[in-house]
Each structure stands twice: as C-alpha cells, then as structure tokens.
C-alpha cells in the first residue's frame, strides 16, 4: 500500500494548501518571540539611584543642574552611575535640615566627607526612564535584583516541565487558550508573585504550541521540502523579533506591551477549526479514514485529484519491528552515547549563548531598540546561508564554523572598549548570527543521528538541555555583570569554542540514509554514502492500457512497457516486463524477478542496480 510520501507526490508536496498552512503557522512562530526573549523589554534595567527625601527641594533652592545634584547627593557618582554604591546606597543624612550649603552640602552637614555613613535605599529608587518595566514597577534592583533572574528562569522552567509532561499530545485548543489567558493575566498581575506564576504557566504551554506548529508543517509537506520549511518556520521567529522591537519602541510601558503581544494569541483559537490534523499522525494512530479525508482536503486545496489507487494508506513503520525506547539506549552503545552527550552540550550552548547575548544587550549602554533591531536582522542571512550550505557542504563544518564564529565574536566584543561603538557591535552581531545558525543546524541534525525507534526520545532528552540552559542563563548574565560587565561574554566565548570542537566529532549526515537500527546508528561514522540506492517503479497508464513504468535510478530515468495486464488497483501481483537492453544486462543482480512486486499507481522500492543508468 502507498505511504503518505507517495500520496503527497501525487497531490502536491508543497502546493497551494501547504503554502496557506505554512503562512498561518508562521504567524504562530512569530507570536512566540515575546515569550522567549521579551525579557529584554519587559525587564529593562534603566539607570537608577536611591530616592532621598529633601534632595529635590534642595536642588530647586540651590538651582543645581541634574549633574550637579547627582555629584552632591549620590555616593560615588561618576557621571553615569555604574557603581553599586551609586545605585544601591545613599548618604545617611537629613537633606531637609535648614542651612545646608549649596556649594558643599555634605561638608555643612557632617564636616568630613569620608565619615558620611551610607545606608540602603529605604524610600525606594529614582529611575531614569520615560517608561516602565518589571524592574521599575517592582523595584527589582540591588538586593532584589535576583528576582528578575527568577522571572526569566520560570518561563524556561515552564518550557522544560511542559515538554516532558505535555509534549505534543496536549490538545492544541486548550494550550492556545491557556497561553493567551495567562499572558493577559500577567499584564494585569497585581504583584511580582502573581506575575511570575502567570509567566510560569505561559511557559508550560507556549513552547509546546511552537513545536507543534514546527512538526505540523513538516508533516504536511513532501520530504523534499521539509528542511526548507523548517528553516523558514524559524525565520518567522526572526521576523517576530522585528515586530517586537517596533512594538516595544511604540509602547515603553511593559503592561501595555505585554497585553498587545498577547491579544493576537486569541486569534490562534481559530486554527482548531481551520487547520486539519496531521495525516501522518492520524495514520500512526490507525485512524486511516480521517487521514484520507485530510488528504482529500489537501488535494482539493492544491486543485489536484486524488487517484483511486491511493485509497489505502499505510504507516511507514507498520511493518517495522516494534521496539520500546529507553533512556539506557541513549548511553548503552559507544557511538550513540558520544552523540548524545555532544548534542546535549550543543543544545545547552545554543540556549545559553542565544538568550545570553540578547539579555546582555539589554543591559549594555547603547540604544536598546537599535541594537536589538540590528542583531535581529543578522538572523535572516544566517538562515539563507544554511539553506545554501547544508546540502552542499554538509552539517559538521558549517556548524563548527558558526560555533567558533559565535565564541570568537563574544571574546572580541568583550575586549573592545565601549567608546568604539561600531567596532564593538560588529562582532556582537556576528556572534548573534553564528549562534542562530547553530540553533537551526542542531534542529536538523539531532533527529538524524538516532535510529527510528529512539528518535523522538533522543530529541526530547537532548533538547531538554536547551531549557535547562535557559534556566541558568539569567543568573549567569545578571550576576556576572556585577563583577565585570564583559565577563558573561568571556564565559560565552569559552562555551562556544568548546562546542565548535565537539561537533566535529559527530558523523556527517549529508547524503546518508537515516539510521533504522542501533547498529545503523553505531556505524554512521563509517558510512561513506547511502547504504542502498532505490529504483522507484510507478505505473502511469490506466488499467486497460499496457502499463508504462518509470525507473528512477540516480539522475537517469528509463521506461519499460509491460506485456501483461494484471496490475490491478490495490492488488500486488507479479509481472513480466520487457526491459531495455542496458537494464537487462544487469537484471540478474535483482534476482529471479528483476522488478519484484508492482502495485499500480504508486511507488514501490526495490534494490537498485550497482550500475546507475
């Protein structure tokens, strides 16, 4: 019986229906952006200092400029308030005392500047920002600065828990509804605690929705288009970065921004009725009748007619040996164990560097909106480079080069002084492009390295390190900058360069067949080319006419006409065929029945001759 890939070749691998589906699912990908990296704008940390009662009145009486006020009343003020004392400590003096000198206010209060006691910011902070953020509203600075780290870690913890407990089996309508409602409630959260709770709930379901869209579009298109639509789906996420930047610039208040980026999620509820279920998933669930209805809908959308010979569907692994995957299978054999540990580290690296570079940009001294915009734009050439190189050069070398570029760029950025703005930002953008390429490559490579029965578990376990990396990244970035502003970049450089060396130890998968068994996966590093070429035979003519067969082997195509007329629809039968002389010459290599079983109207693979035609 025909497989789904056979049927998609008949009704269209990437026709009008798939293009429409791809477009609406790309909207889902773009909407995931604020959940994943929105912390840059939601948790923006402006310059701040302690609020001291009486300082504003004294400044007005003395006619000080803002800079003069800060020099007189803020500890260790150096012009831009980068020290801990200038942000989190204040002079323990009464600025409401009468008779304070305008030229030496501290001297008139305590006599000796060095003996002025410092204390915590008991009356809050003053923020130099026209808008609001989580930081300014809940005072997430100084001793409470770790709460901002926790806020972002919670959404990544939600990703991790959700991928394990919910995965792909969750009802799409419920997850979309929960994501939208929790996002709205977060915009109206009355306290920091409630905001974190709603953020955690949003993380539980939002990444599952994004991954479901990724899987769904890959299952709707033919095998020749899966890698391209996968990269383009991630490119829609990059487009969401540009939209988020524009919205954040127009709405500098975090609650309005959160509400604006969440409300479109209610539109995705319509997908439950507009988008059909995956036919591949339905076939795997033995719901062939429903799958056939979806296939007919695809054919209608593509303005194609489904051949009667494709009425019987078959799961691609229907005849395969049923094996139960276990976690031990990931570490039991040496090659799979090595691949698993390298992939886990690479997922971890991709998450830490991607999110870390974005967070570090949020606390840098440049123009946040322009820097974020420029760094988002470099993700577009990253995607196009991959589409041009993955099938020509391979996976390992572009992956290693991208990782080394990301790590090296982080190191250069850390060493260039802030005064050389463009010289500092150029390697930062290259680092962003490099880690974006790493992220997209690992999505392609991870499932290729595991045998069929272990593939889903392998991807789940390895990609979970991405979420664990996201949990520790906020603490890594926001705590290390207190020691040295560029220290996170040095750490990123080390992590990235190590990853660049490790991925070279993985087997190259360009031009190789996917492993079916543990033995196949163990021998990938020895496999020089595809294990088996295939001849695909397809009866093109009607039942009444002599059957014409297309024989595809490599780039050549031959035709042979049958001398028998009993290749009936849906019925397997032996046939006698007249083959061209150059095929007959090697027909003995195929056995007693050179063309094996022929089923009218679909392709059936048999071993290819050693000599291509």
- In the chain, where the domains are located: 1-42+139-313, 48-127, 328-524
More confident residue, 609 or 53: 53
Instruction: Check if 1-42+139-313 and 328-524 are the same fold.
Output: yes
- What mean pLDDT, rounded, does the chain reach? 79
Range with the lowest mean pLDDT among 127-136, 275-284, 379-388, 529-538? 529-538
The answer, yes or no, to whether residue 541 has pLDDT greater than 50, is no
Query: In the prediction, which pLDDT does 583 show?
Result: 38
The answer, yes or no, to whether residue 141 has pLDDT greater than 70, is yes
The answer, yes or no, to whether residue 545 has pLDDT greater than 80, is no
d(CA 177, CA 295): 28
- Give the phi and the psi of residue 325 in degrees, each rounded to 5: -75, 150
The answer, yes or no, to whether residue 604 has pLDDT greater than 70, is no
Residue range 8-33: average pLDDT? 88
More confident residue, 525 or 100: 100
Per-residue confidence band for 538, with pLDDT thresholds at 50, 70 and 90: very low
The answer, yes or no, to whether residue 376 has pLDDT greater than 50, is yes
d(CA 354, CA 435): 6
* 248-282 tens-digit pLDDT: 999 999 999 999 999 999 998 888 788 888 787 77
* 389-400 tens-digit pLDDT: 888 888 899 999
Query: In the prediction, which pLDDT does 253 show?
Result: 95
Q: Which helix (H) or strand (E) holds 50?
A: strand 48-50
Q: How far is CA 469 from the centre of its chain?
A: 13
The answer, yes or no, to whether residue 38 has pLDDT greater than 50, is yes
Domain topology for 328-524 = Growth Hormone; Chain: A; (1.20.1250)
d(CA 488, CA 495): 11
Query: In the prediction, which pLDDT does 527 show?
Result: 61
d(CA 148, CA 192): 10
Bin 395: left if φ > 0, else alpha if -120 < ψ < 50, else beta: alpha
Query: In the prediction, which pLDDT does 551 show?
Result: 42
Query: In the prediction, which pLDDT does 314 show?
Result: 56
Exposed/middle/buried for residue 10 (C-beta within 10 Å: 0-12, 13-18, 19+) = buried
Tokens 């974006």 appear where?
436
d(CA 82, CA 84): 7
By DSSP bridging, strand 90-91 and strand 118-119 are: antiparallel
Measured distance between the N- and C-terminal CA atoms of the chain, rounded to whole angstroms? 27
CA-based nearest residue to 4, from 303, 318, 230, 448: 318
- Nearest 5°: the CA angle 475, 477, 478 is 70
The answer, yes or no, to whether residue 188 has pLDDT greater than 90, is yes
d(CA 385, CA 365): 31
By DSSP bridging, strand 118-119 and strand 534-539 are: unpaired
* 144-174 tens-digit pLDDT: 999 999 999 999 999 888 877 755 444 567 8
Helix/strand/coil for 90:
strand
The answer, yes or no, to whether residue 330 has pLDDT greater than 70, is yes
Distances 451 to 524, 530, 613 between C-alpha atoms, Å: 11, 15, 31
Residue range 378-402: average pLDDT? 90
* Residues 476/494, Cβ–Cβ less than 8 Å: no
Tokens 């604006």 appear where?
260
Range with the lowest mean pLDDT among 74-83, 114-123, 272-281? 74-83
The 3-state secondary structure of 186-210 reads HHCCCCHHHHHHHHHHHHHHHHHHH
Helix/strand/coil for 125:
strand
Q: Which helix (H) or strand (E) holds 343?
A: helix 334-362
Range with the lowest mean pLDDT among 70-74, 391-395, 472-476, 593-597? 593-597
Residue range 201-210: average pLDDT? 86
Helix ranges restricted to H, 390-504: 396-415, 421-448, 455-480, 487-502
The answer, yes or no, to whether residue 430 has pLDDT greater than 90, is yes
Query: In the prediction, which pLDDT does 552 show?
Result: 38
The answer, yes or no, to whether residue 292 has pLDDT greater than 90, is no
Query: In the prediction, which pLDDT does 309 show?
Result: 66
Query: In the prediction, which pLDDT does 557 show?
Result: 36
Query: In the prediction, which pLDDT does 322 show?
Result: 54
More confident residue, 386 or 592: 386
The answer, yes or no, to whether residue 327 has pLDDT greater than 90, is no
Query: In the prediction, which pLDDT does 284 show?
Result: 66
CB < 8 Å & 24+ apart, contacts of 275-278: 275/21, 275/24, 275/25, 275/216, 278/215, 278/216, 278/219, 278/220
Query: In the prediction, which pLDDT does 589 show?
Result: 35
CATH number of 1-42+139-313: 1.20.1250.20
Instruction: Give the tokens for residue 563.
Output: 């001398």
**Which residues share a beta bridge with 557?**
552
The answer, yes or no, to whether residue 602 has pLDDT greater than 80, is no
Query: In the prediction, which pLDDT does 166 show?
Result: 58
Q: Following DSSP, what letter does each residue of 472-530 receive, concatenated?
A: HHHHHHHHHTTT-TTHHHHHHHHHHHHHHHHGGGSPP-TT-PPP-SHHHHHTTTT--S-
Query: In the prediction, which pLDDT does 572 show?
Result: 33
- % of the chain residues with pLDDT over 70: 78
d(CA 498, CA 239): 30
Q: Following DSSP, what letter does each residue of 529-592 receive, concatenated?
A: S-S--EEEEEE-S-SSSPPEEEEEETTEEEEEEBS-----BT--B---B---HHHHTTGGGG-S
Per-residue confidence band for 407, with pLDDT thresholds at 50, 70 and 90: very high
CA-based nearest residue to 496, from 348, 322, 302: 348
The answer, yes or no, to whether residue 539 has pLDDT greater than 50, is no
d(CA 549, CA 567): 11
d(CA 27, CA 213): 10
* 560-600 tens-digit pLDDT: 333 332 233 333 333 333 343 333 333 333 333 333 333 33
């Amino acid at each position: 019986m025909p497989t789904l890939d056979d049927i998609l070749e008949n009704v269209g691998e990437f026709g009008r229906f798939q293009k429409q589906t791809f477009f609406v699912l790309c909207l889902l990908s773009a909407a995931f952006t604020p959940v994943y990296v929105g912390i840059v704008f939601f948790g923006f940390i402006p310059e701040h200092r302690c609020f001291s009662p009486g300082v504003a009145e004294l400044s007005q009486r003395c006619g000080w400029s803002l800079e003069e006020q800060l020099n007189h009343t803020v500890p260790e003020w150096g012009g831009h308030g980068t020290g801990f004392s200038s942000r989190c400590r204040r002079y323990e003096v009464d600025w409401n005392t009468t008779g304070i000198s305008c030229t030496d206010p501290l001297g008139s209060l305590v006599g000796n500047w060095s003996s002025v006691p410092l204390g915590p910011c008991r009356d809050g902070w003053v923020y130099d920002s026209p808008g609001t953020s989580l930081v300014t509203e809940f005072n997430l600075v100084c001793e409470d600065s770790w709460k901002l780290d926790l806020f972002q870690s919670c959404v990544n913890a939600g990703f991790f828990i959700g991928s394990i407990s919910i995965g792909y089996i969750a009802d799409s309508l419920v997850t979309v509804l929960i994501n939208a409602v929790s996002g709205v409630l977060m915009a109206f959260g009355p306290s920091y605690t409630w905001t974190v709770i709603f953020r955690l709930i949003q993380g539980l379901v939002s990444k599952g929705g994004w991954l479901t869209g990724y899987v769904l579009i890959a299952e709707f298109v033919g095998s020749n288009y899966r890698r391209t639509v996968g990269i383009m789906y991630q490119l829609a996420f990059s487009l969401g970065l540009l939209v988020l930047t524009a919205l954040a610039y127009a709405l500098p208040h975090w609650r309005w921004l959160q509400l604006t980026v969440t409300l479109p999620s209610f539109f995705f509820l319509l997908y439950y009725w507009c988008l059909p279920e995956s036919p591949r998933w339905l076939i795997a669930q033995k719901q062939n009748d429903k799958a056939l209805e979806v296939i007919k809908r695809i054919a209608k959308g593509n303005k194609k007619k489904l051949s009667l010979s494709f009425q019987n569907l078959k799961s691609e692994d229907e005849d395969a040996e049923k094996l139960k995957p276990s976690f031990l299978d990931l570490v039991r054999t040496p090659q799979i164990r090595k691949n698993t540990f390298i992939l886990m580290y690479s997922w971890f690296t991709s998450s830490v560097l991607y999110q870390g570079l974005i967070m570090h940009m949020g606390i840098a001294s440049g123009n946040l909106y322009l820097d974020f915009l420029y760094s988002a734009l470099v993700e577009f050439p990253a995607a196009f480079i991959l589409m041009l190189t993955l099938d020509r050069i391979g996976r390992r070398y572009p992956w290693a080069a991208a990782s080394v570029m990301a790590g090296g760029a982080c190191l250069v950025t850390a060493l260039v002084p802030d005064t050389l703005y463009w010289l500092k930002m150029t390697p930062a953008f290259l680092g962003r492009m490099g880690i974006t390429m790493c992220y997209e490559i690992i999505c392609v490579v991870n499932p290729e390295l595991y045998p069929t029965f272990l593939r889903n578990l392998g991807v789940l376990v390895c990609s979970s390190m991405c979420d664990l990396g996201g949990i520790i990244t906020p603490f890594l970035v926001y705590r290390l900058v207190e020691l040295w502003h560029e220290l996170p970049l040095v750490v990123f450089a080390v992590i990235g360069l190590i990853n660049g060396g490790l991925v070279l130890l993985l087997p190259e998968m360009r031009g190789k067949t996917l492993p079916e068994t543990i033995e196949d996966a163990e021998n990938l590093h020895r496999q020089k080319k595809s294990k088996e070429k295939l001849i695909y035979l397809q009866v093109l003519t009607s039942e009444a006419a002599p059957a014409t067969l297309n024989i595809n082997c490599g780039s050549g195509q031959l035709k042979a006409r049958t001398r028998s007329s009993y290749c009936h629809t849906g019925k397997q039968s032996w046939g006698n065929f007249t083959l061209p002389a150059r095929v007959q010459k090697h027909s003995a290599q195929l056995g007693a029945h050179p063309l094996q079983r022929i089923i009218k109207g679909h392709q059936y693979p048999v071993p290819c001759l050693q000599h291509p035609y």
